[in-house]
Amino acid sequence: MKKWIGLAVVIAVLIQACDKVYPPYMETNNTPTPTDSVVQKVIIEEFTGHLCPNCPEGSEVAHQLEHLYPGRVFIISIHAGYFANLQSPNYLTDYRCATGNELYNVFQPQSYPIAMINRISRNGSMLVNKDGWAPLVDSLIHTTPTIKIRSTKQFNPSTSTLQATLDFIFLQNTNKKIMWCAYITEDSLVSYQKNNNSALGPTPDIPNFPHNDVLRGSINGTWGDTLISTPVMAGDTIKKSFQYSFGTVSWNLNQTHIIVFVYDLDTKQILQAEKFSVK
Protein backbone atom coordinates (compact mmCIF):
# COMPACT_ATOMS: atom_id res chain seq x y z
CA MET A 1 0.00 0.00 0.00
CA LYS A 2 2.75 2.45 0.97
CA LYS A 3 4.65 1.75 -2.26
CA TRP A 4 1.81 2.61 -4.62
CA ILE A 5 0.93 5.71 -2.67
CA GLY A 6 4.53 6.77 -3.13
CA LEU A 7 4.35 6.07 -6.85
CA ALA A 8 1.23 8.18 -7.16
CA VAL A 9 2.91 11.07 -5.34
CA VAL A 10 6.01 10.85 -7.56
CA ILE A 11 3.92 10.89 -10.72
CA ALA A 12 1.79 13.79 -9.48
CA VAL A 13 4.91 15.82 -8.70
CA LEU A 14 6.43 15.04 -12.09
CA ILE A 15 3.29 16.19 -13.90
CA GLN A 16 3.31 19.48 -12.05
CA ALA A 17 7.04 20.05 -12.39
CA CYS A 18 7.92 19.09 -15.95
CA ASP A 19 7.91 21.62 -18.75
CA LYS A 20 7.50 19.25 -21.68
CA VAL A 21 6.15 15.84 -22.54
CA TYR A 22 9.04 14.63 -24.63
CA PRO A 23 11.23 11.67 -23.66
CA PRO A 24 13.61 10.74 -22.18
CA TYR A 25 11.84 10.21 -18.89
CA MET A 26 14.46 10.12 -16.18
CA GLU A 27 12.54 8.43 -13.34
CA THR A 28 13.62 4.80 -13.09
CA ASN A 29 12.80 1.91 -10.82
CA ASN A 30 15.59 1.17 -8.35
CA THR A 31 14.80 -2.55 -8.52
CA PRO A 32 16.53 -4.01 -11.60
CA THR A 33 14.45 -6.09 -13.97
CA PRO A 34 15.37 -9.76 -13.49
CA THR A 35 17.11 -11.24 -16.52
CA ASP A 36 17.18 -14.86 -15.40
CA SER A 37 13.53 -15.31 -14.50
CA VAL A 38 10.10 -14.78 -15.98
CA VAL A 39 8.40 -11.57 -14.86
CA GLN A 40 4.85 -10.32 -15.13
CA LYS A 41 4.20 -7.74 -17.85
CA VAL A 42 1.39 -5.16 -17.76
CA ILE A 43 -0.51 -3.43 -20.57
CA ILE A 44 -2.02 0.03 -20.14
CA GLU A 45 -4.73 0.44 -22.79
CA GLU A 46 -5.41 4.15 -22.67
CA PHE A 47 -8.42 5.70 -24.37
CA THR A 48 -7.31 9.08 -25.66
CA GLY A 49 -7.74 11.64 -28.44
CA HIS A 50 -6.14 14.79 -29.78
CA LEU A 51 -9.21 16.88 -28.84
CA CYS A 52 -9.00 15.83 -25.19
CA PRO A 53 -7.38 18.64 -23.14
CA ASN A 54 -6.78 16.37 -20.12
CA CYS A 55 -5.11 13.60 -22.11
CA PRO A 56 -1.54 14.96 -22.01
CA GLU A 57 -1.68 14.35 -18.25
CA GLY A 58 -2.82 10.77 -18.86
CA SER A 59 -0.03 10.25 -21.38
CA GLU A 60 2.52 11.55 -18.89
CA VAL A 61 1.32 9.21 -16.13
CA ALA A 62 1.37 6.19 -18.47
CA HIS A 63 4.86 6.92 -19.75
CA GLN A 64 6.25 7.54 -16.28
CA LEU A 65 4.99 4.08 -15.32
CA GLU A 66 6.52 2.64 -18.50
CA HIS A 67 9.90 4.08 -17.56
CA LEU A 68 9.55 3.22 -13.90
CA TYR A 69 9.26 -0.46 -14.91
CA PRO A 70 11.37 -0.72 -18.09
CA GLY A 71 10.43 -3.61 -20.32
CA ARG A 72 7.54 -4.60 -18.08
CA VAL A 73 4.85 -2.00 -18.86
CA PHE A 74 3.51 -1.57 -22.39
CA ILE A 75 1.18 1.22 -23.52
CA ILE A 76 -1.50 1.02 -26.18
CA SER A 77 -2.99 4.43 -26.98
CA ILE A 78 -6.49 3.95 -28.36
CA HIS A 79 -7.67 7.01 -30.29
CA ALA A 80 -11.43 6.60 -30.50
CA GLY A 81 -14.70 8.36 -29.74
CA TYR A 82 -15.51 12.07 -29.86
CA PHE A 83 -12.06 13.24 -28.76
CA ALA A 84 -10.45 11.44 -31.71
CA ASN A 85 -12.67 13.13 -34.31
CA LEU A 86 -11.13 15.40 -36.93
CA GLN A 87 -11.47 19.15 -36.54
CA SER A 88 -10.35 21.88 -38.90
CA PRO A 89 -7.91 23.49 -39.27
CA ASN A 90 -5.31 21.80 -37.03
CA TYR A 91 -6.76 18.45 -36.03
CA LEU A 92 -6.91 16.62 -39.34
CA THR A 93 -4.53 13.73 -38.58
CA ASP A 94 -6.60 10.59 -38.14
CA TYR A 95 -5.28 8.15 -35.53
CA ARG A 96 -8.42 6.03 -35.39
CA CYS A 97 -8.53 2.43 -36.55
CA ALA A 98 -11.10 -0.35 -36.73
CA THR A 99 -9.64 -2.21 -33.75
CA GLY A 100 -9.68 0.91 -31.58
CA ASN A 101 -13.23 1.74 -32.60
CA GLU A 102 -14.37 -1.75 -31.67
CA LEU A 103 -12.68 -1.55 -28.27
CA TYR A 104 -14.34 1.82 -27.70
CA ASN A 105 -17.78 0.47 -28.63
CA VAL A 106 -17.44 -2.54 -26.34
CA PHE A 107 -15.90 -0.90 -23.26
CA GLN A 108 -17.63 2.48 -23.70
CA PRO A 109 -15.37 4.94 -21.87
CA GLN A 110 -17.29 8.03 -20.83
CA SER A 111 -14.51 10.40 -19.75
CA TYR A 112 -10.87 10.78 -20.78
CA PRO A 113 -8.14 10.02 -19.92
CA ILE A 114 -9.12 6.54 -18.81
CA ALA A 115 -7.48 3.16 -19.25
CA MET A 116 -7.72 -0.58 -18.79
CA ILE A 117 -4.86 -2.15 -16.85
CA ASN A 118 -4.48 -5.75 -18.05
CA ARG A 119 -8.27 -5.58 -18.40
CA ILE A 120 -8.68 -6.20 -14.69
CA SER A 121 -12.32 -5.82 -13.68
CA ARG A 122 -13.07 -4.01 -10.43
CA ASN A 123 -16.53 -3.03 -9.23
CA GLY A 124 -17.96 -4.27 -12.51
CA SER A 125 -15.73 -2.16 -14.77
CA MET A 126 -12.32 -2.50 -16.39
CA LEU A 127 -11.98 1.27 -16.83
CA VAL A 128 -9.70 3.10 -14.40
CA ASN A 129 -9.13 6.85 -14.03
CA LYS A 130 -5.50 8.00 -14.25
CA ASP A 131 -5.13 8.35 -10.46
CA GLY A 132 -5.70 4.61 -10.16
CA TRP A 133 -3.17 3.48 -12.77
CA ALA A 134 -0.07 3.51 -10.54
CA PRO A 135 -1.43 1.36 -7.69
CA LEU A 136 -2.95 -1.18 -10.04
CA VAL A 137 0.17 -1.45 -12.20
CA ASP A 138 2.32 -1.83 -9.10
CA SER A 139 0.13 -4.58 -7.69
CA LEU A 140 0.18 -6.52 -10.96
CA ILE A 141 3.93 -6.13 -11.57
CA HIS A 142 4.63 -8.04 -8.37
CA THR A 143 2.40 -11.03 -9.12
CA THR A 144 3.77 -14.41 -10.19
CA PRO A 145 3.38 -14.93 -13.94
CA THR A 146 1.64 -18.05 -15.24
CA ILE A 147 2.82 -17.80 -18.86
CA LYS A 148 6.01 -16.79 -20.64
CA ILE A 149 5.92 -15.44 -24.20
CA ARG A 150 8.98 -15.83 -26.41
CA SER A 151 9.18 -14.45 -29.95
CA THR A 152 11.40 -14.72 -32.99
CA LYS A 153 10.85 -12.64 -36.11
CA GLN A 154 12.10 -11.85 -39.57
CA PHE A 155 11.26 -8.75 -41.60
CA ASN A 156 11.56 -8.70 -45.39
CA PRO A 157 12.11 -5.08 -46.45
CA SER A 158 11.55 -5.80 -50.14
CA THR A 159 7.99 -6.95 -49.50
CA SER A 160 7.36 -5.14 -46.17
CA THR A 161 6.38 -8.48 -44.70
CA LEU A 162 6.85 -9.57 -41.10
CA GLN A 163 7.09 -13.23 -40.15
CA ALA A 164 7.01 -14.16 -36.48
CA THR A 165 6.94 -17.31 -34.39
CA LEU A 166 5.56 -17.16 -30.86
CA ASP A 167 6.19 -19.65 -28.05
CA PHE A 168 3.66 -19.56 -25.23
CA ILE A 169 5.27 -21.44 -22.35
CA PHE A 170 2.97 -22.40 -19.49
CA LEU A 171 4.47 -22.08 -16.02
CA GLN A 172 1.50 -23.56 -14.18
CA ASN A 173 -1.20 -26.11 -14.90
CA THR A 174 -4.35 -24.46 -16.21
CA ASN A 175 -7.76 -25.39 -17.53
CA LYS A 176 -8.66 -21.85 -18.63
CA LYS A 177 -9.73 -21.05 -22.15
CA ILE A 178 -7.04 -18.64 -23.32
CA MET A 179 -6.88 -16.40 -26.39
CA TRP A 180 -3.89 -14.71 -27.99
CA CYS A 181 -3.76 -11.33 -29.73
CA ALA A 182 -1.14 -9.26 -31.54
CA TYR A 183 -1.73 -5.50 -31.78
CA ILE A 184 0.26 -3.02 -33.88
CA THR A 185 1.42 0.32 -32.42
CA GLU A 186 3.42 3.22 -33.82
CA ASP A 187 5.52 5.86 -32.02
CA SER A 188 6.63 9.45 -32.60
CA LEU A 189 3.66 10.76 -34.55
CA VAL A 190 3.93 14.51 -34.13
CA SER A 191 0.83 16.66 -34.51
CA TYR A 192 -1.56 18.92 -32.60
CA GLN A 193 -2.95 18.04 -29.17
CA LYS A 194 -5.41 19.94 -26.96
CA ASN A 195 -3.96 20.72 -23.54
CA ASN A 196 -5.11 22.46 -20.36
CA ASN A 197 -1.97 21.94 -18.23
CA SER A 198 0.67 24.59 -18.90
CA ALA A 199 3.28 22.46 -17.11
CA LEU A 200 3.07 20.00 -20.00
CA GLY A 201 3.17 22.44 -22.89
CA PRO A 202 1.36 25.37 -24.49
CA THR A 203 -2.36 25.82 -23.86
CA PRO A 204 -4.89 25.35 -25.27
CA ASP A 205 -2.98 23.62 -28.09
CA ILE A 206 0.37 21.84 -28.29
CA PRO A 207 1.27 22.04 -32.00
CA ASN A 208 4.05 19.41 -31.94
CA PHE A 209 2.84 16.82 -29.45
CA PRO A 210 4.49 13.37 -29.81
CA HIS A 211 1.70 10.81 -30.05
CA ASN A 212 3.34 7.53 -28.99
CA ASP A 213 2.12 3.92 -28.79
CA VAL A 214 -0.74 4.71 -31.17
CA LEU A 215 -2.87 1.66 -31.89
CA ARG A 216 -2.79 1.02 -35.63
CA GLY A 217 -4.63 -2.30 -35.82
CA SER A 218 -4.38 -5.99 -35.05
CA ILE A 219 -2.60 -8.90 -36.66
CA ASN A 220 -5.39 -11.37 -35.85
CA GLY A 221 -8.47 -9.29 -35.09
CA THR A 222 -9.61 -7.32 -32.06
CA TRP A 223 -10.24 -10.42 -29.96
CA GLY A 224 -7.55 -12.67 -31.42
CA ASP A 225 -7.51 -16.45 -31.82
CA THR A 226 -7.75 -19.43 -29.51
CA LEU A 227 -4.49 -20.41 -27.82
CA ILE A 228 -5.86 -23.26 -25.68
CA SER A 229 -9.35 -24.62 -25.03
CA THR A 230 -8.35 -27.77 -23.12
CA PRO A 231 -6.17 -28.19 -20.00
CA VAL A 232 -2.39 -27.87 -20.27
CA MET A 233 0.40 -28.72 -17.84
CA ALA A 234 3.26 -26.63 -16.51
CA GLY A 235 6.10 -26.82 -19.00
CA ASP A 236 3.84 -27.22 -22.04
CA THR A 237 4.62 -24.91 -24.98
CA ILE A 238 2.10 -23.83 -27.60
CA LYS A 239 3.55 -22.42 -30.82
CA LYS A 240 1.84 -19.92 -33.06
CA SER A 241 3.13 -18.12 -36.11
CA PHE A 242 1.91 -15.37 -38.38
CA GLN A 243 2.87 -13.50 -41.52
CA TYR A 244 1.73 -9.92 -41.96
CA SER A 245 2.23 -7.67 -44.97
CA PHE A 246 2.29 -3.93 -44.27
CA GLY A 247 1.78 -3.26 -47.96
CA THR A 248 1.81 0.44 -48.77
CA VAL A 249 0.83 1.81 -45.35
CA SER A 250 2.26 5.22 -44.53
CA TRP A 251 3.51 4.12 -41.10
CA ASN A 252 7.16 4.44 -40.21
CA LEU A 253 8.04 0.78 -39.71
CA ASN A 254 11.20 1.78 -37.84
CA GLN A 255 8.89 3.10 -35.13
CA THR A 256 6.29 0.35 -35.30
CA HIS A 257 5.91 -2.44 -32.73
CA ILE A 258 3.90 -5.59 -32.11
CA ILE A 259 2.38 -6.17 -28.67
CA VAL A 260 1.43 -9.81 -28.16
CA PHE A 261 -0.78 -10.72 -25.23
CA VAL A 262 -2.84 -13.60 -23.91
CA TYR A 263 -6.09 -13.31 -22.01
CA ASP A 264 -8.63 -15.42 -20.17
CA LEU A 265 -11.65 -15.83 -22.45
CA ASP A 266 -14.10 -15.87 -19.54
CA THR A 267 -12.83 -12.92 -17.50
CA LYS A 268 -11.04 -11.04 -20.35
CA GLN A 269 -8.10 -10.45 -17.99
CA ILE A 270 -4.72 -10.20 -19.72
CA LEU A 271 -2.40 -12.86 -18.29
CA GLN A 272 0.89 -11.95 -19.97
CA ALA A 273 2.29 -9.75 -22.72
CA GLU A 274 5.41 -9.15 -24.79
CA LYS A 275 6.52 -6.43 -27.19
CA PHE A 276 8.93 -6.43 -30.12
CA SER A 277 9.80 -4.10 -32.98
CA VAL A 278 8.71 -4.80 -36.53
CA LYS A 279 12.21 -4.26 -37.92
CATH number of the domain within which 118 lies: 2.60.40.10
Q: In 69-177, at which residue ranges do the beta strands (DSSP E only) sit?
A: 73-79, 114-117, 127-129, 147-156, 161-170
Mean of per-residue pLDDT scores for the chain: 89
pTM for the whole thing?
Answer: 0.87
Tell me the pLDDT tens digit for each residue of 158-196: 999 999 999 999 999 999 999 999 999 999 999 999 999
Among the residues of the chain, which ranges form H helices?
2-17, 55-68, 98-107, 133-141
- Model pLDDT, residue 123: 86
Q: In total, how many domains does the chain have?
A: 1
Q: Is residue 35 in some structural domain?
A: no
pLDDT beyond 90 at 35: no
- Model pLDDT, residue 27: 34
pLDDT beyond 90 at 5: no
Residue 253 CB contacts under 8 Å (≥ 6 apart), including other chains: 155, 160, 246, 278, 279
Closest by CA position to 211, among listed 270, 252, 245: 252
Strand partners of residue 183: 218, 259
- Model pLDDT, residue 193: 98
Q: Which amino acid is at 180?
A: W
Q: Is residue 218 in some structural domain?
A: yes
The answer to whether 163 and 176 are in contact (CB under 8 A) is no
H/E run at residue 25: none
- Model pLDDT, residue 37: 78
Q: Is residue 36 in some structural domain?
A: no
Q: Which domain holds residue 85?
A: 2-30+41-277
Tell me the pLDDT tens digit for each residue of 233-249: 999 999 999 999 999 89
